[in-house]
Amino acid sequence: MTALTLAPVAVRPRRPVGVLLAGSFLALVALAAALAPLLAPYAPEAIDLSASLAGTSAEHLLGTDASGQDLLSRVLYGARTSLIAPVLLLAVAAVLGVTLGVLAAWRGGWVDAFVSRLTDVMYAFPGLLFTVLIIAVFGTGMTTSVLALGLAYTPTVAKYTRSLALSESGKPYIDAYRVQGMGGARICALYLVPNLGRGVVGYLVVLFGEALMSLATLSYLGFGAQPPSSDWGLMVQEGQAAVVQSALLPALVPGTAIAAVVVSFNVVGVWAADRLGRRG
Amino acid sequence: MNNTGLLVVDKVCKSYPLPGGGRLTAAEDVSFGVAPGGSLGIVGESGSGKTTVARMLVGLVRPDSGTVTVGGTARAARTPGRRTARLARAREIQMVFQDPYLSLDPRLTAGQCLRTALRLHGKEEALAGELLERVGLGEREARARPRQLSGGQRQRLAIARALAVDPRVLVLDEAVAALDVSIQAQILALLDEIRREAGVALVFVSHDLAVVQHITDDVLVMRRGRVVEQGPTARVLSEPSDPYTRLLLAAVPREGWDPDDAVAARSALVEATG
Amino acid sequence: MLLTIDRLTVEVPGTARPLLDEVALHIAEGEVVGLVGESGSGKSTTAKAALGLLPAGATASGSVHVAGADVLSLTGEELRRHRARTVSMVHQDPRAALNPVRRIGDFLLERGADRTRAVELLAAVGLSDPERRMRQRPHELSGGMLQRVVIAGALATPPRLLLADEATSALDVTTQAEILALLRTLRAEHGAGLLFITHDLHLAAAYCDRVYVMYAGRVVEERTAAALFADPAHPYTRGLLACSPTLGDTPRRIEPIPGKPPSLSDAFPGCPFTARCPDAQPDCSSRHPAAVTLPDGGTAACHRIPAAVPAPAERTAP
């Protein structure tokens, strides 16, 4: 008679420490953005020329910029636009991309060919160039930037959704709806799309960091958020001039904020997409 | 048996283009009829075209030629665009699929699944309870999603969903193949009951000759898209006239069975027909 | 005795009952033994135990001996040799055993056949044009052909014990017959033992010498195939026979077994079949039935069978 115990093998992959760290950091940032009016020591646009380019001190924990605006306050308020704008952008891309992707997968034939060629053409353009082109036509500003980038992200979402929808619509439960006599539009809207939800959301989470970065870039280039906004990308651009006066904080503070949030989102995003993808 | 009865299939054909040119014949000149409350089996091995025929019946595959008639009215080859026409067409023939897990929407509970079908056809949603009871599912199952149901319960639900539409013909594509033996017997008993009580005609697509003998009156043996033999099940399975039918029968394990007999029958068939 | 499993109990955390509960099973050299039961009955777990493969986190008691070796205590190189040489397993899905990017020939060469022998093996399992098959990849072959390749792989170094886990269930009946004929030559030529796992009672009865019937992780009946068919002793076996449709001149009613096969979250203080059993008595659900020896030498675990002689736990020594 033999008795033995095999070492227990973890059935579920453990949540890595990095994901936990990144996740808590993002939660903290979101909280800080929500509570900005309570947490910020100054109004973000309050100009105090007497305190121009001050270093860290008790009054200004992260120093000030050239106009003497408190950087901590600006970065806290800036978190709001910097987090909300990518969500709106992705919402635009999701609505358009999912519609196109599902349409292409469901109708097949020339519709699929048309949508696929369209996305290919858009892929061929560098995203930023395409966006700048739209902004050149419709003018600068945050709303135009969000819409333009939303359009620029549509092809990748459409392509991804199309492949998901192709495999999902081949499942017999979709056939069963057709056999029941249900119309194609209704099957897609009410039953196919909700079943793609997990996969698409996972993909969007991964895209979030990139979207935030793209928006910051537009603002940095002067196409996106306009002064006196506290958008992080804009803040980096404004702080750049101070670097030659050996004041690093005005560019460093928003730059670090962008980098930290983007990296955290990528860490969490990849983990979430993996989980959502596996379950879905 | 042709040209009489509730469901009449007349010379349907379907072929698919092959990548290297030429065409693959999935079904060629398949004709049969099923009376109200009758039961027809379609047997054959994988690639015989039996599933293609099943899918042509419900309109998931469009035949190249030939007609499917239910109660004297020919079904259009394309799914009609008009809602009323589409629903009327759905009430003619319903289908139960092989994989009871993939054929149910993973997001809907059993109750929601049935109510969706009932609502679509303008029926009382309260009928869902009766339908569940009819297939032997209870309150607890009504609130469960497919992943919380066992294989047999899922297939009962799929049958209930087909019945929700109140069809005249029910097509079952390998509907009991994935189930445990004891559960398979329960589902077969349920189908028998539905057929007797509601007069629903069954088209039972299966590779399992024993099951087909049990549940059908007539049978169609298919090989490589062609019907090689058809007639009353009892006659075809006891005095098969086609060598392929004989091979299929020889391959079914039973008392005193020797797999070598089937191997010999196969070589004989290959020599005779290629 | 080639394979002896003695009172094997396998438990994993988080289930209400053991996966296997005091399973005893043996296979002699050259014997074809069937293992029949519905999903979750423990058939595959039993077969994998012969490979020394237990589920993750499992606790096992009892013993598994293959050709004299205590499988559950093998480690490292010995265990690897055991799995490579002594025992081979063929699963329902041949694709799981084949690397999709490697050629069929590589699969056989990895298993210790040289080129000439590999071609011979492919011809022996009935594949046409074996030279060409050697260069093909798995996606170019059908399921039935791949299952032949896997069996050719098992023949490359003929195992003493072959475990076939629903190896033919996904195949067409005519292909199934050919694979079964092939497996039988393995026994005839090499004296290998075969554990044949199937859900199809009629197939087991037609193909095997002896059959074990499992239910909820327990062996409920063990008989010669002929006796199992002619005179099933356990109510579950009778139920299975009565509910499987058979081909024959006189169609008979099939009698479904009520209820459903037990899941791992069902615990049984007594006989696990009680709830579905037509012969159940009140005391059936309170204590486990011991296996009793039947007049013909088989065993069955049922309270309703008059216990002439309680079966010894291990009837045969290795």
pLDDT digits 0-9 by tens, A170-193: 999 999 999 999 999 999 999 999
Could you tell me the CATH number of the domain that includes residue A217? 1.10.3720.10
Mean pLDDT split into 10-residue runs, chain B, 274 residues: 76 91 92 94 92 95 94 86 92 92 93 96 93 89 91 92 95 89 89 90 94 94 95 94 92 85 84 74
Note whether A116 contacts B: Cβ–Cβ < 8 A.
no
Beta carbons of B153 and B161 less than 8 angstroms apart: no
Residue span of the structural domain in which B244 resides: 240-274
In-domain check, residue A23: no
In-domain check, residue B129: no
The larger pLDDT score, comparing residue A6 to residue B101, is at B101
* Same-domain pairing of B264 and B207: no
Contacts of B260 in chain C (CB under 8 A): 181
What band does A3 get if pLDDT is binned at 50, 70 and 90?
A: very low
Both structure tokens of C206: 């037609």
Is A278's pLDDT higher than 80? Answer: no
Residue C214 per-residue DSSP state: E
d(CA C299, CA C131): 49
d(CA A271, CA A253): 27
pLDDT at site C262 = 86
Beta carbons of A70 and A46 less than 8 angstroms apart: yes
pLDDT at site B15 = 94
Taking the CA of residue C75 and the nearest CA in chain A, the distance in Å comes to 12
Taking the CA of residue C313 and the nearest CA in chain A, the distance in Å comes to 13
pLDDT at site B33 = 95
In-domain check, residue B30: yes
**Cβ contacts of residue C79 below 8 Å, gap of 6+?**
C52
User: Tell me: the pLDDT tens digits for C282-296?
Assistant: 888 888 898 888 888
Beta carbons of A12 and A62 less than 8 angstroms apart: no
Is A11's pLDDT higher than 60? Answer: no
Is A260 exposed, middle or buried (CB count within 10 Å of its CB: 0-12, 13-18, 19+)? middle
Taking the CA of residue A122 and the nearest CA in chain C, the distance in Å comes to 34
Q: Which of B182, B192, B204 is the best mutation test for C, with the most CBs of C within 10 A?
A: B182
Q: Cβ separation of C60 and A4 shorter than 8 Å?
A: yes
Both structure tokens of C78: 């010995």
Beta carbons of B233 and B209 less than 8 angstroms apart: no
In-domain check, residue B116: no
pTM of structure:
0.84
Contacts of B250 in chain C (CB under 8 A): 177
HSE (CB half, 13 Å, CA atoms) of C125?
A: 26
In-domain check, residue A216: yes
* Same-domain pairing of B216 and B192: yes
Beta carbons of B203 and B170 less than 8 angstroms apart: yes
d(CA A27, CA C80): 49
In-domain check, residue B48: yes
Predicted ipTM of the assembly: 0.91
Beta-carbon count within 10 A of B216 CB:
25
Q: Cβ separation of B120 and A171 shorter than 8 Å?
A: no
User: Tell me: the pLDDT tens digits for C21-46?
Assistant: 999 999 999 999 999 998 889 999 99
Beta carbons of B9 and B32 less than 8 angstroms apart: yes
Beta carbons of B141 and C260 less than 8 angstroms apart: no
| Total structural domains within chain A | 1
Query: pLDDT > 90: what percent of chain C?
Result: 36
* Same-domain pairing of B171 and B71: yes
Q: Domain C3-246+263-310 is of which CATH architecture?
A: 3-Layer(aba) Sandwich (3.40)
> How many CB pairs (< 8 A) connect B and C?
119
Residue span of the structural domain in which A248 resides: 63-279
* Same-domain pairing of B90 and B181: yes
pLDDT at site A12 = 47
Note whether B268 contacts C: Cβ–Cβ < 8 A.
no
* Same-domain pairing of B19 and B84: yes
In-domain check, residue B126: no
In-domain check, residue A27: no
In-domain check, residue B114: no
pLDDT at site B151 = 86
Taking the CA of residue B165 and the nearest CA in chain A, the distance in Å comes to 7
Nearest to A181 among B89, B97, B98 (CB): B89
Query: pLDDT > 70: what percent of chain A?
Result: 93
| Total structural domains within chain B | 2
Note whether A195 contacts B: Cβ–Cβ < 8 A.
yes
Mean pLDDT of chain C: 87
In-domain check, residue A11: no
